[in-house]
Structure 1
């Protein structure tokens, strides 16, 4: 059983240039005015698009504050807070990120409400399928088998040549 959810919001409803994808990615953020590693904050990315994201963090970030955030498969990027509602912060990237990074984040993000045992079960099923495929794949032919196959091919070619003459 596969459990997944990808929800796209329409551009008309969101009034955004790019569609945001729901994700759940734990990462870290730090203000660009204070780039010491020990001053970083944990953050949870709730949705992501090429142009921005929604994060949940205790970081003291307000509108127009710039910060760096670590994105999987992309590394550090700089964003600016556009709005704040409690721990939620709507942000836009100074430089858009590639669509491939958004897609990878969606694929890596667990489906909402899915438990770890579902992912473990999927992994075990995949391993069982791989094992079954390997079991049914022909093993390498032995030297005598290869010689017999070669002799058979030579006989077939000789019969074709004799038949055409």
Structure 2
């Protein structure tokens, strides 16, 4: 038996355009000639959230972040809270860069205190994926929907064969 835990967020709770991927990845960043080491906590095509200590950064600052195996990308700071900063990339990142970063980043399972490879915990990383429309339907409801779909296609096929033949 397969048991899954699905985390759904309403559109009012989650206003981001891109899926955020949780990470634990160190990177280099710079702003106005000063260099910083940052820990990226989540990453998407559109932005990132990172943590750094001792940085003199403000909202609306543009920083350069060096993403491993991609290079430097500019990001605008949208918010800051307790050494954490939420940023929007000036130019979106390719999906492949996000996937590579997720696969290279260790994933910390805080419930057990064990650091795991994200390959083994890929379902945990997908908690922000778009919710499945049929997640709450019973097996009987799914069978009825499947049969209804087959009936619609059979009706369309019958109309097509009558029109052609």
User: TM-score, length-normalised on structure 2?
Assistant: 0.59
How far off is 1:53 after superposition? 0.4
Larger helix proportion, structure 1 or 2?
1
Larger strand proportion, structure 1 or 2?
2
Give the structure 2 partner of residue 105 of structure 1. 101
Give the structure 1 partner of residue 64 of structure 2. 68
Question: 1:23-72, CA deviations, whole angstroms, 9 ceiling, x for partnerless residues?
Answer: 010111111x32xxxx3111000000000000001221110001101101
Give the structure 1 partner of residue 48 of structure 2. 53
What's the secondary structure of 2:97's corresponding residue?
Answer: helix
4+ residue stretches of structure 1 with deviation over 6 A?
A: none
Distance 1:106 1:86, change over 3 A: same
Distance 1:41 1:66, change over 3 A: same
Taking the aligned partners of 2:8 and 2:35, their CA distance within structure 1 comes to: 31
Distance 1:9 1:92, change over 3 A: farther
What's the secondary structure of 2:41's corresponding residue?
Answer: strand
Give the structure 1 partner of residue 21 of structure 2. 21
How far off is 1:11 after superposition? 7.5
Distance 1:65 1:71, change over 3 A: same
1:78 to 55, 74, 78: 74
RMSD over aligned Cα atoms:
2.2
What's the secondary structure of 1:40's corresponding residue?
Answer: strand
User: TM-score, length-normalised on structure 1?
Assistant: 0.59
How far off is 1:10 after superposition? 5.0
Give the structure 1 partner of residue 36 of structure 2. 41
